Amino acid sequence: MTYIAMDQPRSSGSIALSFIGRWSNADPARPGSGSRRHALGLALVTAASFFASARLTADSPGDLAGMPLEELMEMPVEFVSGVSKYEQSIRHAPAGVTVFTAGDIQDYGWRTLADALRAAPGFHVRNDRFYEYAGNRGFTRSYDYNFRTLILVDGHRINDPVYQQGSIGTEFILDPDLIDRIEIIRGPGSSIYGSNAFDGAINVIPKKGRDLAGGQASVAVGSEPSVKARVSAGDRAAGGLEYTVSATDWWSRGEREFDLPQSWRDAAPGIFDDLEAKDHDDTHHQSVFGHAAWRGFETEIAYVKREKDVLPPVYDTTPDAAARGVDERAYALLRGVGEPLPDAELSATISLDFYNYDGLFHPLSTNFEPQRAYSASTSINTEIRWRQTLAERHTLIAGIERQDNLRQDIGRDNAATGERVVRVRENSAYASPFIQVDWELAPRLILSTGVRYDYYSESDQSLTPRFGLIWDCTSATTVKLLYGESFRAPTIEERFASEAGVMANPDVNPEKNRSIELVAEPRLNDVWRLDGHFYHIASSDLITTVLTNANPLDPDEITYDNGRDVVTDGFDLGAAAYFKGGLRLRASGTLKQSEEEATGILVADAPRQLFKFNASTPLLHPCLRASGELQYVGDRRDFTGGQVDSYVVANFTLRATRLWDDWDLSLSVYNVADTTWSEPKNEGQITAPPRSVVLRATYNF
Amino acid sequence: MSRRLGVRIRPLLALCLGLGLCLVVCDAPLRAAGGSAATVSAENLKAAFLLNFMRFTDWPPATNGEFSVLGVVGDRSLEDAIFALADSQTVHERRLRVVRVRSVRDAIECHLVFFGSSSTSIGDPTPATAEILAALAGRPVLTVGDEPGFLALGGMVNLYREGEKLRFEIAPDAVGAGGLVMSSRLLALARIARKPVVAQP
């Protein structure tokens, strides 16, 4: 991914300028103020209707009481472990949480973590055919790598110390079929996790031995074409040893929807006239995962290598040879949990993480001389935390996390001449104490208070608090008032990767986020539940590119600075229903608006409307299930000021479980209507993938 | 810009309000979920488990009265769910009555005593739990806990979670000592703690 560093600041600079020049149907005199008042009024009306509906029906007796115990034992309980670093009920967690399970992943045929996020309230995901990028209640930046969303596996940080990339596409470290739960935690999470939990955190929990209880061999064949093979085994042995091992190999030929950009023909007339552009972008994902637990100890290893061809319209490269990027990530983790005192739990974790990137491209800007980009990091993360239950009512969790980044390298060479263009070799460390107290002030009223101090050896410190007031106003309705702050530390690239025309800024400060949110989660009865989230988010000191105005030889020279403040107001409304007989519905709608605070101009890649609808129902036979999803993403702007039209996409999956006892089969059709739409890429737009079909077969043994 | 936003919000808002109203008015025919991926609140699920425990346990005839009495120690969040059951449910053809247990004497009056943990904490049983359990030992009161180590303290049934699913373990020795008879269906679904674990000092 590194090579884009060359063009990144320039393009970002032009984006910054384009904010000022375009999109000004806003009232220039009082930017945004009217609309915000309007939105607030609507939010209040909606909130009032929520509470009204909750009061009317909240106390109706549960129908669960009439169900046989065998069925009750199959009902999943709501809990979340990623909000406060300990398991708590979702209704009492100081954040808005959505949980997807392995069943959802299989039923809807989600191929990547990004597919799951597309179905999550408030999220929009764009795919530039290299990586996927999630906007969560806000916006993405061109040339960001999801560094405003923290990705965790079993509570372990996946964002690397070089680009801080939160990988969610095919480069994600786990095969999605191996995921047991996805906890999507919206809102600032820095008070417990530190950097990158800026807009939210996504905690992915892999399947454990007990979930597999045997072996699985799975093959999926897609129309692109693509082939994916996975072998997994896991069990919990009598002695208490629980283990999982799994390996995946997944290849896709990719898409063929590209044309050679006219700019290439214009730039080098005659050269490309007879040249056929490479017409597909191969993806090859290989991953292994292992987990073992015995008594209070567990160990986990994970490795992924993703090789990806990237076509000319996506990034600079000659048309006959795709740019190529290889991402590798690995970690090994050891965790021990004990109860040294009554009502106390002590846990200690140490992990070793590796990240490596290697890319080759042929940019126009160097006259097609091949450029090799590479980066690597090695880090050791240790965490000790203590959880104490006080008087049965209150919970305290405190700990310290330390990360030593032994290696943080970025480099780029001219592969033809061997000349070094960029070379950064850094190392750094941070140490961060944190504490959270969940105190029951009164029956049904919990005050959650947390704070974390992040001390960085090489950059600015951050202190981030979170407060939550959680009130069970009836047995069926919980209301939360949440305030949180979060930050993202600058990347090594932003601070040190200087080259001609682009000056890094070692003094750039962390980005900050402050969010206030009202959450209402009325449960109408055992079938229907609603949730509403109303939020105001002030993002300040966002790192952006500005002209240096310091180099007379290069008036376009730019650098990074904390030059941007953005205000986001909006709400998500959701409804979920689970019917007797197995019909499941989930719908959510989001209205939000992100504006530059100084000018009131709308922010790029921030759709103001999102609507998602998921339905899954048994069909004809209990083992056969049909599931469909419908997603609407409202119009937005791309990073160079162009209009990106809204789109609707539908996906459909038919799934049969336990056929002939041991077989699971499913057929998924993505983009059923073969809709064509565009998504923003770093510069300009790119066509989203056309219709594709995947057939999967899994044998359980 | 405000006009743009306003125009687009109104239809959606109307839809949401309309949907909410429909739900309020027409939720009567909707019935509980049976699908495997339907998530439920832990409180409601635990309450339903307790009811099943009572339905599949036989008490000595001497304890029969007008009501089946379910007592709750601690755990206010579960209390609401259990109290919600009281109006609508019967056990062994007797109406269900739910009481708060504040003393050992309260506990002895119950058919089932549930020792809840606070919904925000998972820890060891408090001395109060051990005290009540000691007083109930050998009596026909079904004791149900929600903490690791509850059976070691002399409890009869303990709830625990396995992944996302709620499970329970039974100490048949303790159940038998109280003169209670559990249905084989209940025993078949439970994890059986045959040998009583040595109690903590």
Res. A54 pLDDT band, cuts 50 70 90: very low
The burial class, CB within 10 Å (0-12 / 13-18 / 19+), for A355 is buried
Token couple for B118: 């606070």
| B39 contacts chain A (CB < 8 A) | yes
Residue A460 has pLDDT above 90, yes or no: no
What average pLDDT does this structure show over B117-126? 40
Res. A56 pLDDT band, cuts 50 70 90: very low
Residue B177 has pLDDT above 80, yes or no: yes
Res. A307 pLDDT band, cuts 50 70 90: very high
What average pLDDT does this structure show over B151-160? 89
Res. A501 pLDDT band, cuts 50 70 90: confident
Answer whether B166 sits within 8 Å of A73, measured CB to CB. yes
Give the number of beta-carbon pairs within 8 Å between A and B.
Answer: 254
- What residues contact residue B182 under an 8 Å CB cut-off, 6+ apart? B56, B57, B58, B170, B172, B175
Q: Which chain B positions have a beta carbon within 8 Å of A79's beta carbon?
A: 42, 161, 164
Answer whether B27 sits within 8 Å of A57, measured CB to CB. yes
Handedness of CA A100, A102, A107, A108 (dihedral sign): positive
| B88 contacts chain A (CB < 8 A) | yes
The burial class, CB within 10 Å (0-12 / 13-18 / 19+), for B127 is exposed
Residue showing tokens 């160990």 = A299
The predicted-structure confidence for A221-264, as pLDDT tens digits, reads as follows 999 899 999 999 998 887 778 999 999 999 998 876 555 556 65
Percent of chain B residues topping a pLDDT of 70: 66
Res. A688 pLDDT band, cuts 50 70 90: confident
Tell me if the bond preceding A121 is cis, omega within 30° of 0.
no
- What residues contact residue B37 under an 8 Å CB cut-off, 6+ apart? A76, A101, A103, A104, A107, A578, A584, A616
> Any idea what the Cα angle at residue A83 is, between residues A80 and A85, rounded to 5°?
90
Token couple for A635: 């119009």
Residue A646 has pLDDT above 50, yes or no: yes
* pLDDT reported for residue A362: 79
B42-192 to CATH, choices 3.20.20.70, 3.40.50.2000, 3.40.50.2300, 3.90.226.10: 3.40.50.2300
CB atoms within 10 A of CB A301: 17
Residue A3 has pLDDT above 80, yes or no: no
* pLDDT reported for residue A259: 55
Strand partners, A389: A395
CA atoms within 13 A on the CB side of A424: 27
CA B113, CA B58: separation in Å to the nearest integer?
Answer: 15
What average pLDDT does this structure show over B58-80? 78
Q: Is A591 helix (H, G, I), strand (E, B) or coil?
A: strand
Backbone phi, then psi, for B2, in 5-degree steps?
A: -65, -35
Task: Give the ipTM.
Answer: 0.74
What average pLDDT does this structure show over A539-564? 87
Backbone phi, then psi, for A240, in 5-degree steps?
A: 100, -5
| B191 contacts chain A (CB < 8 A) | no
* pLDDT reported for residue A220: 97
CA A557, CA A550: separation in Å to the nearest integer?
Answer: 8
Angstrom distances, CA of residue A638 to CA of A126, A188, A313, A607, B5: 11, 25, 15, 10, 19
Backbone phi, then psi, for A9, in 5-degree steps?
A: -65, -35
| B11 contacts chain A (CB < 8 A) | no
A202 compared with B96, residue with greater pLDDT: A202
Token couple for A474: 């009836």
Q: Is B107 helix (H, G, I), strand (E, B) or coil?
A: helix
Element (H, E) at A176: none
- Look at A66-80, A387-401, A592-606 and tell me which has the smallest mean pLDDT: A66-80
Res. B36 pLDDT band, cuts 50 70 90: very low
The listed range with the strongest mean pLDDT (A43-52, A202-211, B2-11) is: A202-211
Residue showing tokens 């799975």 = A218
Residue A200 has pLDDT above 90, yes or no: yes
Residue A6 has pLDDT above 50, yes or no: no
Q: Which chain B positions have a beta carbon within 8 Å of A438's beta carbon?
A: 120
Angstrom distances, CA of residue A81 to CA of A113, B122, B123: 18, 13, 16
**Are B138 and B175 contacting, i.e. CB atoms less than 8 angstroms apart?**
no
Residue showing tokens 């490309």 = A272
Report the largest interatomic distance among the alpha carbons of chain A, rounded to a whole angstrom: 80
Closest CA to A34 of B2, B5, B4, B6: B2
Percent of chain B residues topping a pLDDT of 90: 13
* pLDDT reported for residue A79: 83
Res. A316 pLDDT band, cuts 50 70 90: low
The predicted-structure confidence for A147-158, as pLDDT tens digits, reads as follows 999 999 999 999
Closest CA to A631 of A660, A577, A673, A694: A673
DSSP A504-562: --TTPPPEEEEEEEEEEEEB-SSSEEEEEEEEEEEEEEEEEEEE----TT-TT-EEEEE
Q: Which of B15, B45, B120 is most worth mutating to test chain A (most A CB atoms within 10 A of its CB)?
A: B120
CA B72, CA B146: separation in Å to the nearest integer?
Answer: 12
- Look at A14-28, A190-204, B25-39 and tell me which has the smallest mean pLDDT: A14-28
Q: Which chain B positions have a beta carbon within 8 Å of A53's beta carbon?
A: 20-21, 23-24
> Any idea what the Cα angle at residue A135 is, between residues A134 and A138, rounded to 5°?
170
Backbone phi, then psi, for A577, in 5-degree steps?
A: -140, 140
* pLDDT reported for residue B122: 36
Domains in chain A, start-ordered, CATH in brackets?
A: 2-61+88-700 (2.40.170.20)
Helix B42-55 vs helix B76-86: crossing angle, to nearest 10: 50
* pLDDT reported for residue A139: 78
What average pLDDT does this structure show over A442-470? 93
Which of the 8 DSSP states describes residue B199? P
Strand partners, A566: A539, A596
Res. A51 pLDDT band, cuts 50 70 90: very low
CA B171, CA B155: separation in Å to the nearest integer?
Answer: 7
**Are A465 and A486 contacting, i.e. CB atoms less than 8 angstroms apart?**
no
- Alpha carbon of residue A439 to chain centroid: 30
Residue showing tokens 């290299």 = A130
CA atoms within 13 A on the CB side of B157: 30
Answer whether A71 sits within 8 Å of B31, measured CB to CB. no
Name the residue ranges covered by the structural domains of chain B: 42-192
Which of the 8 DSSP states describes residue A88? B
| B87 contacts chain A (CB < 8 A) | yes
Of A49, A394, A528, the CB nearest to B27: A528
The 3 state secondary structure assigned to A399-468 is EEEEEEEEEEEEEEEECCCCCEEEEEEEEEEEEEEEEEEEEEEECCEEEEEEEEEEEECCCCCEEEEEEE
Closest CA to A121 of A595, A603, A535, A594: A535
Chain-wide mean pLDDT for chain A?
84
Q: Is A568 helix (H, G, I), strand (E, B) or coil?
A: strand
Of A523, A575, A582, the CB nearest to B35: A582
* pLDDT reported for residue B27: 36
**Are A506 and A490 contacting, i.e. CB atoms less than 8 angstroms apart?**
no
| A427 contacts chain B (CB < 8 A) | no
The listed range with the strongest mean pLDDT (A336-340, B126-130, B149-153) is: A336-340
Determine the distance in angstroms separating the CA of A287 from the nearest CA of chain B, rounded to an integer.
24
Q: Which chain A positions have a beta carbon within 8 Å of B70's beta carbon?
A: none
Res. A476 pLDDT band, cuts 50 70 90: confident
